[in-house]
């Protein structure tokens, strides 16, 4: 390499430019000299190495990174086409045949041998400008293709090309997604052989005839890997020209984990709304474990409550119950989570010094605390017999559920505080029986329901400041409590402003359906509802009738803690509707049955005994009735209300 060439290379390095290195092969010395002179003068980025021996050219090409090889066709020891064939054995470097002995037959043979361009020599010096432009074009094209190839092969996303609905190119990432060893598995095959959608569904986006397709498309597909797993992928498709034909360039991104996360999070939110309607820790625990088993598909799950310095087991599924409380200053994964107020994920319990063996031989465990105002109130725990069975996604989802549990605890705590004194119990009784003045009703609502919602909103805003990554979940909770507060405000307004709206028109089938869908019913209870045909319209306040039905369903559910059957049947007789609520619980003691609808009559600790008294007062106020029948096989409560004449 000459001094001038060295200077060009050094200048290119300093300016962060890439020179064009040319290997010129010709057995005519004058041709080598003139070509080098003109090319390096016309393009200052060009550096030309000239050789007259094709064998020497092969050796140099293998030792150096040339950007293009230019060769004469007719040489003494080897033709330019033969040289191109030898170069192609080890390299894809661009090759230009530059000869004065050209013909159509030579050109055809050259392209069959892998030559990239073909140019006839001319006598005019201006011809070197044409040669310089062809070299620049060929090298730029090659560099661009190499860059694209590097991007495609190193991409984490799958990339494939379709022509007439068939795959003509697939990168390594596509093969990895499907679990095959190489692109040969796809080449020449129809895309429909590898996805679960129908042709009609896919051709809305990828019309093989390019008649109805937009310039680019973004859609999802489902595909089955070689090991049988079904995955979800997001596809971005653009129309291109490939090998002279119209084609689709498709980028394939596996979004299975994201989709599953979204689906599980949506299911969790839908299920977790039930937590806000519950009134005891036991109900919260049962509902929480239902969610953990259905949404997360966990097998061994437990719910523990913090009580006076101990962690007490409330409910456990998938393993024998362990009732022994655990001291918060002791060992155990759940104890550690409760004490430190943070999630604890153990991939291998055999290597965990704080692991406390319970009733199963767990190998991995995940414990998440429910924290309320800086203190742990409960711990949600899952265990597995497999190593490393829980992921970071599991942790995030369980933390979201724990957040809902915290709000459920907050609700029952506020309600207990609100009605703790005897005077407040009397206030609650009078409100239930309709004996309060309007101002007293408003005071009760503000002190009770409205205070619960506002306190929950305040807690949510505080948690959002501490953990901004929970934005989506917390916003959902704030919205829910704002809606609830708004409903309470509407009740206050109606109470104060008017009494003329006490009566609504209620459709019996619809209000029963609404209550059944909103009340939390454990999975262990089989529910059957028999509706009556036609419209059953009754003159009764919608809110009060809803409370009547909710009381009856809640009582039936609480009568069956170990599961059973809940049947609700609607019938008509004369001008009345009969609503029967039947459970398969142990029945009501005879000494209780005679005063069942009297205030403060209850068999359940912690309950006021006002629910059925309210039911009786409400239905009798519109000329209806309520009665109960019981045995050791269950209880049936029948509500009869008059229907509005057509």
Q: What is the 3-state secondary structure (H, E, C) of 338-407?
A: HHHCCCEEECCHHHCCCCCCCCCCCCEEEEEEEEECCEEEEEEEEEECCCCCCCHHHHHHHHHHHHHHHH
pLDDT value at position 498? 38
Span 266-283, mean pLDDT?
82
pLDDT value at position 396? 87
**Would you say 588 and 630 are in contact if contact means Cβ atoms under 8 Å apart?**
yes
pLDDT value at position 415? 56
Q: Higher-confidence residue: 51 or 440?
A: 51
**In CATH, 260-418 is 1.10.357.10:** no
Span 119-169, pLDDT tens digits: 988 878 888 999 999 999 999 988 888 888 788 888 889 999 999 899 999
**Would you say 615 and 597 are in contact if contact means Cβ atoms under 8 Å apart?**
yes
**Helix and strand numbers, DSSP H then E, in the chain:** 20, 23
Q: pLDDT band for position 500 (50/70/90)?
A: very low
Question: Does the pLDDT of residue 536 top 80, yes or no?
Answer: yes
Q: Which fold has domain 505-642?
A: Heat Shock Protein 90 (3.30.565)
Question: Does the pLDDT of residue 609 top 70, yes or no?
Answer: no
pLDDT value at position 15? 46
Neighbours of 76 (CB within 10 A): 9
**Would you say 337 and 345 are in contact if contact means Cβ atoms under 8 Å apart?**
no
Q: Higher-confidence residue: 606 or 617?
A: 617
CATH code for residues 3-152: 3.40.50.2300
pLDDT value at position 191? 93
Residue in this structure with the two tokens 């977790």, named with its chain if needed:
272
> What sections of 64-126 are H helices per DSSP?
80-88, 104-112
Tokens of 550: 């909710």
The answer, as to whether pTM is greater than 0.75, is no
Question: Does the pLDDT of residue 435 top 70, yes or no?
Answer: no
Q: Higher-confidence residue: 323 or 330?
A: 330
Q: Which of 237-241, 334-338, 357-361, 473-477 has the highest mean pLDDT?
A: 334-338
Could you name the CATH architecture of 155-254? Answer: 2-Layer Sandwich (3.30)
Q: pLDDT band for position 574 (50/70/90)?
A: confident
Span 242-267, pLDDT tens digits: 878 888 999 999 999 888 888 887 77
Q: Which of 232-241, 439-448, 588-597 has the highest mean pLDDT?
A: 232-241
End-to-end CA distance of the chain: 107
pLDDT value at position 483? 64
Span 334-345, mean pLDDT?
95
């Amino acid at each position: 390499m000459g001094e001038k060439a060295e200077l060009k290379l050094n200048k290119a390095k300093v300016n962060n430019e890439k020179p064009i290195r040319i290997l010129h092969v010709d057995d005519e010395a004058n041709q080598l000299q003139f070509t080098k002179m003109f090319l390096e003068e016309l393009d200052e980025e060009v550096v030309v190495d000239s050789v007259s021996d094709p064998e020497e050219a092969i050796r140099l090409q293998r030792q150096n990174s040339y950007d293009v090889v230019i060769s004469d066709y007719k040489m003494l020891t080897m033709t330019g086409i033969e040289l191109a064939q030898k170069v192609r054995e080890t390299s894809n470097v661009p090759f230009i045949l530059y000869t004065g002995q050209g013909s159509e037959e030579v050109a055809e043979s050259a392209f069959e041998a892998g030559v990239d361009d073909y140019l006839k020599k001319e006598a005019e010096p201006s011809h070197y400008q044409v040669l310089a432009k062809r070299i620049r074009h060929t090298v730029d094209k090659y560099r661009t293709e190499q860059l694209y190839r590097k991007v495609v092969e190193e991409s984490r996303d799958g990339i494939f090309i379709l022509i007439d609905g068939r795959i003509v190119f697939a990168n390594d990432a596509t093969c990895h997604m499907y679990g095959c060893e190489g692109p040969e598995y796809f080449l020449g095959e129809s895309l429909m052989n590898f996805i679960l959608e129908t042709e009609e569904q896919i051709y809305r986006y990828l019309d093989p005839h390019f008649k109805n397709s937009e310039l680019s498309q973004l859609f999802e597909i489902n595909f089955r890997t070689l090991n049988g797993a079904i995955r979800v992928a997001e596809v971005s498709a653009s129309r291109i020209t490939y090998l002279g034909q119209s084609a689709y360039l498709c980028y394939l991104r596996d979004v299975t984990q994201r989709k599953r996360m979204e689906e599980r999070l949506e299911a969790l939110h839908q299920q977790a709304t039930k937590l806000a309607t519950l009134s005891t820790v036991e109900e919260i625990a049962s509902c929480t474990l239902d969610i953990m088993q259905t949404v997360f598909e966990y097998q061994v799950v437990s719910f523990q409550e913090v009580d006076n310095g101990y962690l007490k087991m409330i409910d456990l599924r998938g393993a024998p119950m362990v009732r022994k409380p655990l001291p918060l200053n002791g060992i155990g994964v759940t104890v550690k989570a409760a004490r430190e107020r943070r999630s604890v994920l153990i991939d291998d319990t055999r290597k965990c010094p704080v692991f406390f063996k319970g009733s199963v031989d767990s190998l991995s465990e995940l414990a998440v605390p429910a924290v309320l105002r800086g203190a742990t109130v409960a711990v949600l725990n899952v265990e597995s017999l497999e190593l490393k069975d829980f992921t970071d996604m599991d942790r995030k989802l369980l933390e979201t559920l724990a957040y809902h549990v915290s709000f459920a605890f907050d609700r029952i705590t506020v309600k207990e505080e609100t009605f703790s004194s005897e005077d407040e119990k009397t206030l609650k009784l009078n409100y239930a029986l309709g004996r309060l003045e309007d101002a007293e009703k408003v005071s009760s609502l503000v002190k009770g329901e409205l205070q619960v919602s506002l306190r929950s909103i305040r807690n949510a805003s505080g948690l959002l400041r501490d953990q901004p990554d929970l934005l989506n979940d917390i916003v959902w909770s704030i919205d829910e409590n704002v809606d609830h507060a708004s409903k309470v405000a509407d009740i206050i307004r109606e109470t104060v402003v008017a009494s003329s709206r006490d009566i609504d028109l209620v459709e019996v089938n619809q209000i029963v359906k609404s209550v059944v869908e909103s009340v939390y019913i454990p999975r262990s209870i089989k529910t059957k509802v028999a509706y009556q045909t036609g419209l059953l319209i009754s003159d009764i306040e919608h809110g009060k009738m809803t409370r009547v039905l909710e009381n009856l369903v809640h009582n039936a559910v609480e009568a069956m803690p170990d599961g059973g059957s809940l049947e609700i049947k609607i019938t008509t007789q004369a001008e009345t509707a009969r609503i029967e609520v039947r459970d398969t619980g142990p029945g009501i003691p005879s000494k209780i049955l005679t005063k069942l609808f009297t205030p403060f009559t209850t068999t359940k600790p912690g309950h006021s005994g006002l629910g059925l008294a309210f039911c009786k007062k409400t239905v009798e106020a519109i000329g209806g009735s309520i009665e109960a029948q019981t045995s050791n096989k269950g209880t049936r409560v029948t509500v009869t209300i008059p229907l509005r004449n057509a």
